[in-house]
Chains A and B, each alone.
Chain A
Amino acid sequence: MKLPGKLSLNAIFLPFLGVLLCIGGWALISGKSVTKTTTKDDGWGDMITVTETKRVGLSADLPAPSETWVASKPYIVEPFAKRGELDQGILRFTWLSLKLVVQGYLLALLIGTPIGFLLGLSRNFTLAFDPIIQILRPVSPLAWLPLGMVMFSGLKIADASGRTAFGTSDAAALFTIAICAMWPTVLNTAVGVRAVPQDYLNVAKVLKLSRFKTLTKILIPSSLPYMFTGFRLSLGIAWLVIVAVEMLIGKPGIGGFLWQQYNANSFAHIILSIITIGLIGFILDRLMSLAESRFRTA
C-alpha cells in the first residue's frame, strides 16, 4: 500500500526537480549585466565618471532565466495583444502558425494517404515509386522552400480590396509543410495496408465484395491504427517545419517572431519562442495520441 503513494509523489516531484535542475544549469552558464562606474582622467585634466555596462558569464549574451521572464512578461500576460504586425502576444503568434500548419498538414494527409494506399496495394507501384520516395524523404524543409518559391512564382490571389490574400510565399510555405510532413503518413499507411491479415481479405473474397467495398469495409478499418501513427508523426514534422518556413519567408508567426527577435538582439524572446514551440508541439502530440488510442481495434 505504501508503494503507490511513494510512486505518485515521485511522479509529481521528480519532473519539478528536473525542470529546476535545467533552469539552474541555464542560470549557471548564462551571462549577467555588470555595471561598473569608474572615475578617471579624460585626458584634459578633468576627472569624469564613466558608467560601463558589460555582460559577463560563460555565455555572456545568453539571457539569464530572470531576464528572460522580465522580457517575456508582456507577451505572456497579454497573449492575444496585437501591438503591430510583428509585435503580438505569444498565443496570437502561435495561432497564426497553427493556422498555417493545419492547412499544410491537411494537404499532406490528402496527398499522403492515397499514395500510401497505392504503395500498400500495388507491388508495381512500390517498385516504381519507392526509390524516389526514399530519396525525397530526407530532404530538409530549408531545401524545399526555395523550390516552392520558384514553382509558385507569380501566383497572386487578391482579396476584394486588392491586397494579396494568397501569394507565392504562402503557396511555397504550404508546399513545404505538406511535402515534408507527408512521408510518415505515406509509409505508415503503406505498412498498415500490407499488414491487413489474410483472414480479412479471405472474408472479402468469400463475400465477393467489390473493390470499393473491400477498401471501405476491410482495408481502411484494418489499417486505421497504423495510419493514425503516421498522422501523429506527420503533425509533429509539420510543426517542426513551420519554424523554418516562417524564418525564411518572414511571415508573422512563432517562427517569424523568433527570427525577428534574433535580428533585433532581444535574445530573451528567442528562449520564449523555443519554450512555446516545444509546449505546443507536446500538446499536439498528446492530442493526436488520444485520437489514436480511440481508433485502436482489437
Chain B
Amino acid sequence: MPLLQLTSASKSFSGHSILRDIDLTVEEGDFVSIIGYSGTGKTTLISLLAGLLKPTTGQAMMEGKPITGPGPERGIVFQNYSLLPWLTVEENIHLAVDQVFPEKSAAERKEHVATYIDMVKLTHASTKLPKELSGGMRQRVSVARALAMQPRVLLLDEPLSALDALTRATLQDEISDIWLKTRTTVIWVTNDPDEAILLADRVIPLLPKKDGATLGAAMSVPIERPRERREIDQDPIFKKLRHDLVSTLLSARKQQEASSVTRKLAVPDILPEDLTVIDTVKRSARSGPLRRSQLQKEEFKITVP
C-alpha cells in the first residue's frame, strides 16, 4: 500500500481551477521532487498532501485512509520557516517534541531535542531566538523541528528558495546527508531543476495548463548516492535529465501561452479636448468629439490565460 496517494485530485479556489487530474503515488522511503514554475500551484499541492487543504474532487490518502487534516506524521517545512518568534530554537523544537511524544519522560524529550539540534549543527545557537539567526539557520531549525517529530513523510515546500545560492548548496548537502542516515520519505517541492535532480530519486514536473496544472511524467534519477555536487554537472545522465526536464517545462509554458485566447479590446478612443484654444468659430463648427481612430489606426492585443 502506498504511503501517500493522490487520486484524480483537483483543487479550485472560488471556481478558478488551480490543479486538476493529479495522480501521485509515493512509497515508503521515496525521495520525490516536484518541480514547477512559481504560481503553478506547488504550495496548493503540498497543502493537499499535508491536509491543510482538502481536494475539491478526488482523494488524498495516507496508507489507504483519507487525509482529514494535518498531523505530526506528516512533517512540513515551509519556505518562510514559520518558527514561532517568541520561542528560542530549543523551545520551538521542544514544543513539537512535547506534543508528539507525551509518553516520554522530560529528560528523554530534552535529549531528543538536543539530538535533532545537533543533527542540523545548531547546538551553539540553541538558546537564540529566530530573529538572531540567518535565513539558512532558521530553515535548519525548521527542518530539525519537522524531523524531531519523526514523521512518516517529510513535506518540504520550496524550503531553500529564500536563501542565497551558497547557503542553498550547503543546506542541500546537509539535508541530503541527513536523508541518507534517516531514509525518511520526502516530498520536496522546488523551482530549481538542479536541486530536484541532485536530491531526488524521482522528479515530477508540475505543468501549467490553461485550466489548472497537472503532473507530467515522472523521471527517475538513476545516479548513485552520495552524489557529488562538483562532479554531478559533468555526469551525462544528469545533463540529459536536466535537458529533458527544462524542455518539458518550457514547452508546457509555450503551449499554455498558445492555447490562451487573444482578443481585441475596444478602448474608448475619445481624445481630450484642448480647452486652451479659444476659437469659438472652430468650436461651434465641430460635429462631435475627436476620436483617436480618426488620427491613426491602433490595435491593442492582450493575452488572456
Contacts of A217 in B (CB 8 A): 84, 95
Q: Contact: A207 with B100, CB < 8 Å?
A: yes
Q: Which of A283-298 contact B (CB under 8 A)?
A: 297-298
- In Å, the complex CA distance between A205 and B53 comes to 12
Q: How far is the CB of A192 from chain B (nearest CB, A)?
A: 13
Interface residues of A in 199-215 (CB under 8 A from B): 199-200, 202-203, 205-209, 213
Interface residues of B in 50-101 (CB under 8 A from A): 50, 52, 69-72, 74-76, 78, 80, 82, 84-87, 95-96, 99-100
Which B residues lie within 8 Å of A207 (CB)?
72, 95-96, 99-100, 149
Q: Which residue of B lies closest to A200 (CB)?
A: B84
Contacts of B76 in A (CB 8 A): 202, 206
Instruction: Tally B residues with Cβ within 8 Å of A.
Output: 24
Q: What residues on B are CB-neighbors of A86 within 8 Å?
A: none
Cβ–Cβ contact A208 & B71, under 8 A: yes
Contact call B130/A298, Cβ cutoff below 8 A: yes
**Secondary structure type dominating chain A contacts:** helix
Contact mask for chain B residues 140-159; partner A; CB cutoff 8 A; 1 contact, 0 none: 00000000010000000000
Question: Judging by beta carbons under 8 Å apart, are A297 and B52 in contact?
Answer: no
A187 to B72, CA, bound (A): 35
- Encoded as 1 (CB less than 8 Å from any B CB) or 0, chain A from 191 to 232 comes to 000000001101101111100010001100110100000000
Whether the pair B86, A221 counts as a contact (CB closer than 8 A) is yes
Task: From B72, B82, B96, B99, give the contact of A199 (CB < 8 A).
Answer: B82
Contact, CB under 8 Å: A202 / B100: no
Q: How far is the CB of A201 from chain B (nearest CB, A)?
A: 10
What chain B residues lie within 8 Å of A221 (beta carbons)? 84, 86-87
Cβ of B120 within 8 Å of any chain A Cβ, yes or no, is: no
Query: Known: A206-B76, A209-B99. Contact between A218 and B71, CB under 8 A?
Result: no
Q: Are B72 and A208 in contact (CB under 8 A)?
A: yes
CB distance from A176 to the nearest CB of B (A): 36
Whether B131 is near chain A, meaning CB under 8 Å from some CB there, is: yes
Chain B residues with CB under 8 A of A298: 85, 129-131
Identify B71's interface contact among A200, A206, A222, CB under 8 A: A206
> Contacts A207-B72, A207-B100, A208-B72: A202 and B95 contacting too (C-beta < 8 A)?
no
Among B50, B80, B87, B99, chain A packs the most CB atoms within 10 A around the CB of: B99
Contact partners of A203 in chain B: CB under 8 A:
82, 84
Complex CA–CA separation, A203 to B52 (angstroms):
11
**Could you tell me the distance between the alpha carbons of A202 and B50 in the complex, rounded to whole angstroms?**
10
Chain B min CB distance to A76 (Å): 44
Cβ contacts A136-147/B at 8 Å (1 or 0 each)? 000000000000
Q: How far is the CA of A208 from the CA of B99 in the complex (A)?
A: 8
Cβ 8 A contact of A206, one of B50, B84, B129: B50
Across-interface contacts of B52 in A (CB, < 8 A): 202, 205
Alpha-carbon distance A205/B99, docked complex (angstroms) = 11
Is there an interface contact between B69 and A202, defined as CB atoms closer than 8 Å?
no
Across the interface, name the chain A residue whose C-beta is closest to B132.
A298
Cβ-closest chain A residue relative to B85: A298
> In the bound complex, do residue B80 and residue A199 qualify as a contact, i.e. CB atoms below 8 Å apart?
yes
Point out the residues of chain A lying under 8 angstroms from B86, CB to CB.
221-222, 224, 297
Given known A-B contacts A205-B52, A206-B76, A207-B72, A297 and B85 have beta carbons under 8 A apart: yes
Q: Which of A257-298 contact B (CB under 8 A)?
A: 297-298
List A contacts of B95 (CB < 8 A): 207, 217
Please, how many angstroms separate the alpha-carbon atoms of A203 and B149 in the complex? 12
B100 touches A218 (CB 8 A): no
Distance in Å from the Cβ of A296 to the closest Cβ of chain B? Answer: 10
Residues of the A chain whose Cβ atoms lie less than 8 Å from the Cβ of B71: 206, 208
Residues of B within 8 A of A206 (CB): 50, 70-72, 74-76
Query: Among the listed B74, B78, B87, which residue makes an inter-chain contact with A202, where contact means beta carbons less than 8 Å apart?
Result: B78
Return the chain A residue nearest B142 by Cβ.
A203
Asked if B85 and A202 make an inter-chain contact with CB atoms under 8 angstroms apart, the answer reads: no
A-B pairs, 9 with minimum CB distance: A298-B131, A199-B82, A298-B85, A221-B86, A207-B99, A206-B70, A205-B70, A297-B86, A297-B85
Q: Could you show 10 A-B contacts with beta carbons less than 8 Å apart?
A: A199-B78, A200-B82, A202-B52, A206-B50, A206-B71, A208-B71, A221-B84, A221-B87, A222-B84, A298-B130
